[in-house]
């Protein structure tokens, strides 16, 4: 049964899909001394906030309203970021479920005063849930991958979702087993 057929059976209106490019965005920010950690490079938390901000904008654009961060699946820091770097955070919806979206993010950095190509310094995958005014989950439009790269990202996002759900199930089963054995956490 297709998603459209199941939506029609459930009595919910079908939401037209949106192409990947409809909500893709780039957030750019120049790093200053206030962004540094004790080692003199940009603090990972500053980069993570930029990642969350860009991903949140993409999720809100795609879903047509508020969306909240449900999880950060993975955040990889590949290279340090320095004061004076111009950081570009590129985000797009990779996959959509009924009320959730995976947003993929690439973090690039270049010197503010040089014309060299940017270097990838990080990447992340975040899951967002679309919510209504009362904070309750609401349906999101399906994402429509446009390029072969978009299709690959969609397939990889499905794998990450499967692993997330399996990990959650295994943890809950372990907790139930420990509770049945009398362990308190």
Domain holding 81: CATH number?
3.10.129.10
Give the single-character DSSP code of 185. -
In a domain, 6, yes or no: no
Tell me the sheet residues that pair with 105.
Answer: 91, 124
86 pLDDT band, cuts 50/70/90, is: very high
In a domain, 88, yes or no: yes
In a domain, 158, yes or no: yes
**Domain tally for the chain?**
1
Q: pTM value? A: 0.88
CA distance 157 to 20: 14
In a domain, 122, yes or no: yes
Share of the chain above pLDDT 90, in %: 89
Q: What is the pLDDT of residues 29-42, one digit of tens each?
A: 999 999 999 999 99
In a domain, 112, yes or no: yes
Alpha helices in the chain (DSSP H): 3-10, 44-63, 148-180
In a domain, 145, yes or no: yes
In a domain, 7, yes or no: no
Using the predicted structure, report yes or no on whether residue 84 has a pLDDT greater than 90.
Answer: yes
Q: Note down the domain range covering 106.
A: 18-181
- Mean pLDDT score, 157-181: 95
Give me the residue label for tokens 């679309």: 130
In a domain, 59, yes or no: yes
């Amino acid at each position: 049964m297709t998603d459209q057929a199941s939506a029609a059976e459930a009595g919910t209106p079908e939401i037209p899909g949106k192409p990947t490019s409809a909500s893709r965005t780039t957030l750019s920010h120049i790093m200053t001394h206030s962004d540094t950690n004790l080692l003199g490079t940009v603090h990972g938390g500053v980069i993570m906030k930029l990642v969350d901000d860009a991903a949140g904008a993409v999720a809100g654009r795609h879903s047509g309203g508020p969306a909240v961060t449900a999880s950060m699946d993975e955040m990889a820091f590949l290279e340090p970021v320095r004061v004076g770097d111009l950081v570009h955070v590129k985000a797009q919806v990779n996959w959509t479920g009924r009320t959730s979206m995976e947003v993929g993010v690439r973090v690039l950095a270049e010197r503010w005063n040089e014309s060299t190509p940017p270097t990838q310094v990080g990447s992340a995958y975040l899951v967002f849930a679309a919510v209504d005014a009362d904070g309750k989950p609401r349906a999101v439009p399906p994402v429509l991958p446009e390029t072969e790269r978009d299709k690959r990202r969609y397939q990889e996002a499905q794998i990450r979702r499967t692993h997330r759900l399996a990990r959650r199930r295994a943890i809950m089963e372990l907790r139930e087993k420990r509770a049945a054995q009398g362990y308190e956490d």
